[in-house]
A = this chain, B = another copy of it.
Amino acid sequence: MLYFCIRRETEPEPDMTARTPKHTDKIPEPTLRRLPWYLSNAKLMKDKGEKYVSSTQISKQINIDASQIAKDLSFVDISGRTRVGYEIDSLIRVLEDFLGFTNLHEAYLFGVGSLGAALLCDSGLAHFGLKIVGAFDVRPEVVGTTINGVPVYHTDEFEEKMKSGGVNIGVLTVPINIAQDITDKMVAGGIKAVWNFTPFRIRVPEHIVVQNTSLYAHLAVMFNRLNEI
């Protein structure tokens, strides 16, 4: 059965200005996860016509200590002016660069099931630096099709496709019983980072980056907290 997905109309292309990421000390993950909040806050302030924003102002908006915000922002290449704060345009540009949203990172997706197909439909990821350039599955009904412009190949073609280079991110949306096998295949093929959407805890060699996004774990937390009200 086929369903429609609606694409947002005439979205601007992501800014392709290439910037080389600076080498920095390893930034803590909690800081990295907070930076997008500051970014979205700065964008809102800009929309309201503001030119400068201070950590105190951001703090009031998003309920995080101003000292924490200043500390987090010390990891990125921006300095605020006393009493005035950060210049908003610079803050937005520097944060977007730092977070990797201004460079397009190409990725392959594995497993064109319900969630995989949904992610292929989400063109919004490109605005945050991720472009899925191909997908892999084994089921005849999806192999050879194109979803939202992304071609679906047979999993056996993966090794060959990797030879053309440029892709080092794999998005994992396969059933749990093959999650580890497909991960091993990705790593063997040269994938350097796995965005794992399965509720399975995959094992990878030390140098491989794994980012777990289990929607189901988040649901579990939400349901549990709801029951406590």
Contact = CB atoms under 8 A, between A and B. Distances in A.
Contacts of A1: 7, 9
Given A209-B226, A221-B211, A176 B124 contact: no
A118 B117 CA distance: 8
B227 A100 contact: yes
A56 interface: no
Interface stretch (A27-35, A77-85, A158-166, A182-190): A27-35
Contacts of A138: none
Interface residues of A, number: 90
A113 interface: yes
Contact of A3 (B21, B112, B121): B121
A183 B224 CA distance: 20
B199 A222 contact: no
Say how many copies of this protein the assembly contains: 2
Contacts of A214: 33, 36
A223 B211 CA distance: 10
Given A4-B147, A7-B1, A200-B37, A113 B121 contact: no
B32 A221 contact: yes
A44 B4 contact: no
A2 interface: yes
Interface of A: 1-9, 11, 21, 23, 26-27, 29, 32-33, 35-37, 39-41, 43-44, 47, 61-64, 98-101, 103, 105, 112-115, 117-125, 128-130, 141-142, 145, 147-149, 168-169, 176-177, 192-193, 195, 198-201, 203, 207, 209, 211, 213-229
Given A3-B5, A5-B121, A33-B214, 13 more contacts: A1-B9, A4-B5, A27-B224, A33-B217, A44-B176, A64-B201, A99-B219, A101-B216, A113-B124, A114-B122, A118-B119, A169-B226, A211-B218
20 contacts: A1-B9, A5-B120, A6-B117, A23-B227, A33-B217, A33-B221, A36-B220, A40-B200, A43-B176, A44-B200, A63-B201, A98-B224, A100-B219, A105-B223, A113-B124, A114-B123, A128-B216, A129-B223, A169-B222, A193-B222
